[in-house]
Amino acid sequence: MAHFYPVPVAGTPVTLAVHISTPSEATSVVRIVEPDSSWKVLLSSDEADGIIPETFIGTGVQLAGRVLKIKTFFELDLIREENRQSVIDNILVEYSFTGGVAGPRTYAYDPADKRASSDKLAVVIVSTIHLNAPQL
């Protein structure tokens, strides 16, 4: 399921933070998709916790009409096999924005966006967030 975060068509700065809670290792990557479907990596986590601190991602006018694809990959190989399902079930991922038309917003990932490998050694969550301009 996609989320929608309305951004102003102005020079207002917009920020994003990715919050992760898991005992496993995690890596997060934020890609921005242009209207022509080209894309580039905008942000990535620096640590093995997958967290991206609040970071400026552009102004409303730069972001309007773009889409963010946020992928977080979890490695569960260091988690005891009998505990992996519990870790998978209790993963927390949230995306916090500021600078939008409606003010600060936090979105949780949609459970349908989470995929675990059959051996429960890896989990990936890919969330889609549309940065749309408000309708007048």
State both tokens at 67.
């889409």
> So what's the pLDDT on residue 1?
80
> So what's the pLDDT on residue 44?
97
What secondary structure does DSSP assign to 96-130, as a single string? EEESSTT--EEEEPPGGGEEE-TTSSEEEEEEEEE
User: Under a CB-based contact definition with an 8 Å cutoff, are residues 128 and 3 in contact?
Assistant: yes
**Cα–Cα distance for residue pair 68/28, rounded to 1 Å:** 12
Total-model pTM = 0.94
Mean pLDDT, consecutive 10-residue stretches, the chain (136 aa), reads 91 97 96 96 96 97 96 97 96 97 95 96 97 76
> So what's the pLDDT on residue 133?
77
Element (H or E) spanning 6, and its range?
none
The C-alpha angle with vertex 59 and arms to 58 and 61, in degrees rounded to 5, equals 125
